[in-house]
Amino acid sequence: MRGRPGRPKLPLEFHRRFWSGVREGFSIEEAAEAAGMSVTGGRRAFRKAGGVNPTRVSGPAGRYLSWADREEIAALDHAGHGVREIARRTGRNPATISRELARGSTTYGYRASAGQARADRGRTAPRAAKLATNLRLRKEVQARLKGRDSPEQIAGRLKIDFPDEPEMWVSAETIYQSLYVQARGGLKRELTAYLRTGRSLRKPRRRDGERRSRIPGMVLISERPPEVEDRAVPGHWEGDLILGSTASKSAVGTLVERTTGFVMLLHLPENHGALAVQEALVAKMATMPEQLRLSLTWDQGNEMANHTTIAAATGLEIYFCDPHSPWQRGSNENTNGLLRQYLPKGTDLSFYGPGMLDNIAAELNARPRKRHGFQTPAEVLNRILSEAATNHGVA
């Protein structure tokens, strides 16, 4: 009896995108979605590779066709363009295009996926791992790992102990690859227990100065003017999200004015993506006079990906906190704690409509505050607006 067909393999380009995302600091789930893979597929690939980007997943050299190149060729071919026209538009040699059209030929015409899969299969197989073929070297490395030397220490020491035997030299990265990538062979993954971290999966490294950059064009809090910090001038806000139950995908956006402590809440019943937050924030800020729309400080959540659009629509200067630094939005964090009395964790926040949220905000804004001489945030805000109107009238 013939066995069931196996799971179709994704072209290597998808895996390249996935590992590129992991390398940049994205979570497995985020990297998989960005690469066009399923989350399950991303987790499977990460687990199988031990958290290490497999050597063969590195991108092809520039002279080779990429997945994007093949998609462009497919689009031009399906549009009826000939080999020379496709070559002209893609900047490739006509012979390259001709070979690629033949490589990716199917009963339905040229397919980028077919061309990529055949190109991947035709690539030169990787060389056998040094630790898999050199028994003496492998035993030496194993013994030193069990002695709790790090891969870097082992690599450095081998050159000292075996100065005239290059076959007994191995890089630290090769040791890590052999430990974590099952397909590389050589060292057993159990030896990772002797490493300082003791991890059975390798945590992706970042280059010096490199960090996850989810949001292009961020201006960090370090560049925020001093006047925001001392709360002397009203109109500077802090923002965040309170999340509802996972199943509901609901949230409530919280905005706190730093000088007065005045609170406004955003209704996000179905999702808290960038567009939903943008629309809710712009609409809510439109209820405030221009002099109270100076800046907004938020954390580095994806919900603020449209910050440039928000800034253009509201006039706010938008600043982002450092990662994992909630104290940089102290007013907002304190307010979120108070709001949990009204919006319990793990509940469906879509239940709280705009009117209910306005009532909750009004109740918080009517609480006397010690720092205001027990005046309420609403009273302090009204006084500021009245004084501004009077000064404007005098002027």
Question: Of all helices (H) and strands (E), which one includes residue 76?
Answer: helix 67-78
Whether pLDDT at 394 is above 80: no
Whether pLDDT at 97 is above 70: yes
Task: Over range 241-269, report the average pLDDT.
Answer: 92
DSSP 8-class letter at 302: G
Whether pLDDT at 7 is above 50: no
Confidence of residue 353 (pLDDT cuts 50, 70, 90): very high
Per-residue pLDDT at 189: 61
% the chain with pLDDT above 70: 78
Whether pLDDT at 212 is above 60: no
> Which residue, among 151, 194, 205, has the nearest Cα to 175 in the 3D structure?
151
Per-residue pLDDT reduced to its tens digit, 170-209: 888 777 777 766 544 566 666 667 676 655 555 555 444 4
Whether pLDDT at 254 is above 90: yes
Whether pLDDT at 71 is above 70: yes
Helix, strand, or coil here: 369? Answer: strand
Per-residue pLDDT at 2: 41
Whether pLDDT at 298 is above 90: yes
* Residues in CB range of 119: below 8 A, 6 or more apart: 64, 65, 103
Per-residue pLDDT reduced to its tens digit, 107-117: 878 888 788 77
Whether pLDDT at 143 is above 90: no
DSSP 8-class letter at 6: P
How far is CA 300 from each of CA 8, 215, 333, rounded to the nearest angstrom?
37, 7, 15
Sequence ranges of the domains in the chain = 12-57, 67-122, 130-194, 221-394
Per-residue pLDDT at 183: 46
Per-residue pLDDT reduced to its tens digit, 301-343: 889 999 999 999 999 999 998 877 777 888 888 888 889 889 8
Rounded-to-integer distance, Cα 332 and Cα 327, Å: 9
% the chain with pLDDT above 90: 27
CB atoms within 10 A of CB 28: 18
* CATH number 3.40.50.280 is the correct assignment for the domain at 221-394: no
Rounded-to-integer distance, Cα 230 and Cα 222, Å: 14
pTM: 0.49
